[in-house]
């Protein structure tokens, strides 16, 4: 019997961690050793350490930032890198009949995984570009600035502290919003290319913003159509709206033509959503 593998694909800050946590709660094996909590992911990233470390190392081999924050496609794997990933896949297959993984960097290697795992299923999670870029700005702010590092005394200190936070966020938007959007565009272009090569029976697309209402349909796809052996747990049981950062308006810091390109990609993805 063929092993069943689910590749959870999506851009950074697109809800893949929460989606994978939900599938883990439903019973999917997403790795024996998972990446723990961090800034912006209080409940954990739910990334399989084996794939997480392997893909970071491959990016370093190619002189690309190992975060995967790149604006240009990653060159295909060389033989040694393919064998490295194949060894991980073989280990997963030997230990579990049904398994999957999530790591946003996977989007940069989809063409290679199509060859390494020709029978795999793909759950594509996408989030609109405005929310994604905003989330990346918010997370970057938390990384750069420790909490409560602004010390202001005297009259109107609360108001002046708020102004300082806003100033810092605007500076981050000026410096990074365009770069973050270019990364969003690349990742989702790679996803669309992959879908153009895959059988429509082997992938499904979900808008993260709609998952709260469509979780039963997604679960049905996985269990009734793809025959994964899972037990339903409501997505609302792990969804924590208080952890979703308030959206930052980054549009005025980004070139109009770039936003239009992102809008076109978003429209295509939305049309491909199954639910």
Nearest-angstrom CA–CA distance, 244 and 165: 18
Nearest-angstrom CA–CA distance, 35 and 105: 14
The residue among 258 and 144 whose pLDDT is bigger is: 258
For residue range 134-186, what is the model confidence (pLDDT) as tens digits? 999 999 998 888 766 665 665 556 667 788 888 899 999 999 999 999 999 99
Dihedral (CA of 73, 77, 81, 83) sign: positive
Strands (E) in the chain, as ranges, are 4-9, 98-102, 121-126, 203-207
Question: Which listed CATH number (3.90.660, 3.55.50, 3.40.1440, 3.40.50) goes with 4-272?
Answer: 3.40.50
For residue range 196-235, what is the model confidence (pLDDT) as tens digits? 999 999 999 999 999 999 999 999 999 999 999 999 999 9
Q: Which residue has the tokens 């599938």?
A: 23
What's the residue count for the chain? 275
For residue range 58-96, what is the model confidence (pLDDT) as tens digits? 999 999 999 999 999 999 999 999 999 999 999 999 999
Query: Is residue 89 within 8 Å of residue 117, measured between CB atoms?
Result: yes
Helix, strand, coil % over all residues of the chain, rounded to 5: 55, 10, 35
Question: Model pTM?
Answer: 0.91
Beta-strand relationship, 121-126 and 203-207 = parallel
Q: Smallest Cα–Cα separation from 108: which of 148, 151, 174, 51?
A: 51
pLDDT of amino acid 1: 46
Domain range summary for the chain, segments of one domain joined by +: 4-272
């Amino acid at each position: 019997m063929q092993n069943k593998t689910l590749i959870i694909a999506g851009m950074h800050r697109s809800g893949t961690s929460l989606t994978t946590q939900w599938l883990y709660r439903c019973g999917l094996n997403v790795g024996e050793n998972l990446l723990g909590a961090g800034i912006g992911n209080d409940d954990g990233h739910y990334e399989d350490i084996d794939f997480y470390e392997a893909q970071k190392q491959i990016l370093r081999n190619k002189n690309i930032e190992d975060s995967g924050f790149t604006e240009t496609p990653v060159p295909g794997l060389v033989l040694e890198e393919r064998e490295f990933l194949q060894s991980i896949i073989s280990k997963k297959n030997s230990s579990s009949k049904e398994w999957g993984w999530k790591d946003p960097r996977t989007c940069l290697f989809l063409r290679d995984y199509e060859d390494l795992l020709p029978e795999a299923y793909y759950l594509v999670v996408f989030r609109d570009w405005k929310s994604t870029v905003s989330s990346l700005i918010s997370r970057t702010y938390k990384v750069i600035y420790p909490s409560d590092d602004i010390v202001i005394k005297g009259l109107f200190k609360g108001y002046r502290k708020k102004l300082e936070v806003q100033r810092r966020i605007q500076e981050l938007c000026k410096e990074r919003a365009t770069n973050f959007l270019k990364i969003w565009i690349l990742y989702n272009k790679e996803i669309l290319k992959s879908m153009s090569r895959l059988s429509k029976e082997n992938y499904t697309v979900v808008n993260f913003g709609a998952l709260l209402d469509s979780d039963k349909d997604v679960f049905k796809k996985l269990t009734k159509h793809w025959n994964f052996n899972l037990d339903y747990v409501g997505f609302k049981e792990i969804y924590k709206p208080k952890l979703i950062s308030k959206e930052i308006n980054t549009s005025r810091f980004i070139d109009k033509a770039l936003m239009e390109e992102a809008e076109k990609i978003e429209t295509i993805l939305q049309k491909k959503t199954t639910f």
